[in-house]
Amino acid sequence: MNIFIEYAIWIYLLPFVAFVINIFFGKRLPRQGDWVSVGAVLISLALSVAMFVGMLLNYDPDFTQEISFSWISLGSFNVSLGFLVDNITITMLLVVSLISSMSHIFSLKYMEGDVRYSRYYAYLSLFTFSMNGIVVANNLMLLYMSWELVGLSSYLLIGHWYEKKSASDAGMKAFLTNRVGDIGFFIGIMLLFTAIGSVAYTDIFAGVANGKVVGSFLGLSILTWAGIGLFMGAMGKSAQFPLHIWLPDAMEGPTPVSALMHAATMVAAGVFMMVRLFPIISPDALIFVAYIGGITAIFASLIAITQNDIKKVLAYSTVSQLGYMIMSVGTGAYVAAFFHLMIHAAFKANLFYGSGSVIHSMHHALHKKHDHDTDPQDMRNMGGFKNKMPITYWSMLASTLAISGIPLFSGFLSKDAILAGTLSFASHHPQHFLLPIFGFGAALITAFYMFRLIFMTFHNEPKRPDLYEDIHESPLEMTFPLVLLGALSFFIFYTIPYFNPFSDQGWFTQMIQAKTSLVAGAPTAHEIADGIHHSHVTAMILSLLVAATGILLAWQMYYKRNLSAESWANKMGVLYNLSLNKFYVDELYERFIYNPFYKLAGAVAHLDWDLYDKYVIDGFGKVTNWISKISGITDYDGLDQGIVDGFGRVAQQFGYRLKGLQTGRLQNYILFAAVGMLLIIIIQTII
């Protein structure tokens, strides 16, 4: 077996082993078994790094290794499972293992003394295992199973503190919202399976290339419907509008879980799947994908402006960045989407660890003051933490510069590529001029709200001087991930062996090259790359402009206070309220989906209970009762008393009568015998 495949299988299975050990024996192990999970994920990380180095040494963009074995074999129906390792897999495995090990390490302190410490680590391992399953799968079946496992483990981790009603509700909301998307995903898989007869990527790709998927439905080809179905799965997992509602609520989970979920595992799954399956998504479906992504990007960033909860801001920022990636897939620049996915994983995980560090220290300060009413996540209670928490501050600042798209930082490279992709798409299709507007608008707003977060948390005078003295830098277990991931926000790690901060040329662009779409009539990879290349400079200048504008606005409003945020909020009025209340999406769902559904369910329940149960079911009962009563009378009074007891009585009477003959005197018996004998002789003589 190839060494890469072997490593991939180990990386895949080790967290699962840790999960099994911890879920069954975790409580009895020393330190409640955290070292099992941490150890497993660290070995995974070491193997991922080894694979990654191997990939760089190979330096082969077309590197692909595959292994598969038969799983279900029923006559002509065959499903085989298997693993696929190519450069995308290797890169993604490194991202997942890295972020996951950081989460494991960060949790050592953050979750110290938790009631369900060992179970928490078991679930973290399960989460990592599921995500790795999505990454290494070579077929849609294993992908779908891991997909559902990711849903399950996110449900378990979001609801980790299930004593809190909001946490258990958030877990359920995440799970159910994901189900909506997953139905579409499953329909997409089944459409492809019925047309092609296999779930393996290679077979599906070949089938689509040979035009095996034919037919149309409601004016769109079946392939388009399959693409939209698959994308629905990504909409659920990657929190795209209108299925984004679960993600901000998922902040109820522990912060390291949020970091893991927002950076590498859960939400990355949708984008990763779209990247994997890009060559079979038809151009019509891609337009749908692009618009959903663009709308999500601008919509979520608008909400993030007005949120005061530090984690909520980051949550909406994640939704917005995912919108970017999805939009990029839609415009054909799917390698840029994957690039952004990887870069975003590093800086977004870091931002979450930073916020976790801030919340941790706020929590302790509040605890010391015996203040249990103040929300430790509310940025309105912070300010001036820069001097008290220097490591957290500098590391978060690096990531903020990265997410805003400032040169020298990683986000600049990928954001630039995505925006160039949208520009080039719009220049080829002028009717889709809205997409670049969404993109650049979201870039502006992102820069603004991220610096708002930084200024409100770390700069100016403290808003709660009483707490300020108790704010301390977090312990080493928590600052280590911050330093490591903060360093990864610099561009250099992504452009090796080149050192040009304005170009994304580097190992990534050479290792991962776009494949041409297999759908007839779609633009080739070369055309898309050409377009991006032409729009590159324009996009760079524009994105620098919007980022600078956003940062300046935030500077004026929240650092210099030359512009009053309050008066702007008043001026905006309706818009401000819309943003603050998240555009009332939850309320709209409540009004137009949940409530009518409850009413319908109530009506059906009424029909079922008051009509069907009461009359039909109970009617059967009554008739049966009546019949059995009659049958009881016949059986007991007629059969038992008359016939069965009758036989008994007759036998008893005979016995009673005949008893007198048994005198016990021998001579009587002889007399009877003699008389009987005589009678027989007499009768014979007469006859």
Which residues of this chain interact with other proteins, rule CB under 8 A? Answer: 662-667, 670-671, 674
Handedness of CA 307, 311, 316, 317 (dihedral sign): positive
Handedness of CA 282, 284, 290, 295 (dihedral sign): negative
Contacts of 488 (CB under 8 A, 6+ apart): 346, 347, 350, 410
In the bound state with other proteins, the residue whose beta carbon lies nearer, of 165 and 665, is 665
Helices assigned H by DSSP within 555-617: 565-572, 574-580, 585-589, 595-606
Nearest approach, Cβ of residue 670 and other proteins (Å): 6
In the bound state with other proteins, the residue whose beta carbon lies nearer, of 214 and 661, is 661
**Angle between helices 410-428 and 310-330 in degrees, nearest 10:** 40
Nearest approach, Cβ of residue 651 and other proteins (Å): 17
Nearest approach, Cβ of residue 687 and other proteins (Å): 22
How many Cβ atoms from other residues are within 10 Å of residue 553's Cβ?
18
In the bound state with other proteins, the residue whose beta carbon lies nearer, of 30 and 664, is 664
Distance in angstroms (rounded) separating the CA atoms of residues 487 and 507: 18
In the bound state with other proteins, the residue whose beta carbon lies nearer, of 521 and 655, is 655
**Residue located via tokens 């258990």:** 168
**Angle between helices 266-277 and 87-110 in degrees, nearest 10:** 180
* Residue 329 to residues 186, 261, 275, 286, 323, Cα–Cα distance (Å): 20, 21, 7, 7, 10
Nearest approach, Cβ of residue 664 and other proteins (Å): 3
In the bound state with other proteins, the residue whose beta carbon lies nearer, of 76 and 667, is 667
Element at 620 (helix H, strand E): helix 618-633
Q: Tell me the residue ranges of DSSP E strands in 367-429.
A: none
Nearest approach, Cβ of residue 668 and other proteins (Å): 9
- 114 three-state secondary structure: coil
Contacts of 527 (CB under 8 A, 6+ apart): none
Nearest approach, Cβ of residue 625 and other proteins (Å): 50
* Cβ–Cβ < 8 Å for 208, 519: yes
Contacts of 417 (CB under 8 A, 6+ apart): 328, 333, 335, 336, 339, 340, 504, 532
In the bound state with other proteins, the residue whose beta carbon lies nearer, of 520 and 681, is 681
Nearest approach, Cβ of residue 662 and other proteins (Å): 6
In the bound state with other proteins, the residue whose beta carbon lies nearer, of 622 and 665, is 665
In the bound state with other proteins, the residue whose beta carbon lies nearer, of 57 and 666, is 666
Nearest approach, Cβ of residue 648 and other proteins (Å): 20
* Cβ–Cβ < 8 Å for 286, 330: yes
Nearest approach, Cβ of residue 656 and other proteins (Å): 13
Nearest approach, Cβ of residue 663 and other proteins (Å): 6
* Residue 221 to residues 202, 211, 330, 385, 519, Cα–Cα distance (Å): 21, 12, 17, 56, 11
Nearest approach, Cβ of residue 647 and other proteins (Å): 24
In the bound state with other proteins, the residue whose beta carbon lies nearer, of 75 and 655, is 655
Distance in angstroms (rounded) separating the CA atoms of residues 291 and 247: 20
* Cβ–Cβ < 8 Å for 409, 343: no
The two tokens of residue 470 are: 């108790």
Strand 216-217 to 220-221 pairing: antiparallel
Nearest approach, Cβ of residue 653 and other proteins (Å): 18
Nearest approach, Cβ of residue 634 and other proteins (Å): 39
Residues in the chain: 687
The single-letter DSSP state of residue 618 is H
In the bound state with other proteins, the residue whose beta carbon lies nearer, of 520 and 670, is 670
Q: What is the CA radius of gyration of the chain?
A: 36
Nearest approach, Cβ of residue 657 and other proteins (Å): 15
ω into 242 cis (within 30 of 0):
yes
In the bound state with other proteins, the residue whose beta carbon lies nearer, of 567 and 662, is 662
In the bound state with other proteins, the residue whose beta carbon lies nearer, of 76 and 662, is 662
560 alpha carbon, distance to own chain's centre: 40
In the bound state with other proteins, the residue whose beta carbon lies nearer, of 24 and 654, is 654
In the bound state with other proteins, the residue whose beta carbon lies nearer, of 615 and 672, is 672
Strand 64-74 to 77-86 pairing: antiparallel
Burial 360-383 (b: 16+ CB within 10 A, else e): bbbebbbeeeeeeeeebbebebbb
* Residue 414 to residues 271, 505, 543, Cα–Cα distance (Å): 14, 11, 11
* Cβ–Cβ < 8 Å for 331, 246: no
Nearest approach, Cβ of residue 642 and other proteins (Å): 31
In the bound state with other proteins, the residue whose beta carbon lies nearer, of 563 and 675, is 675
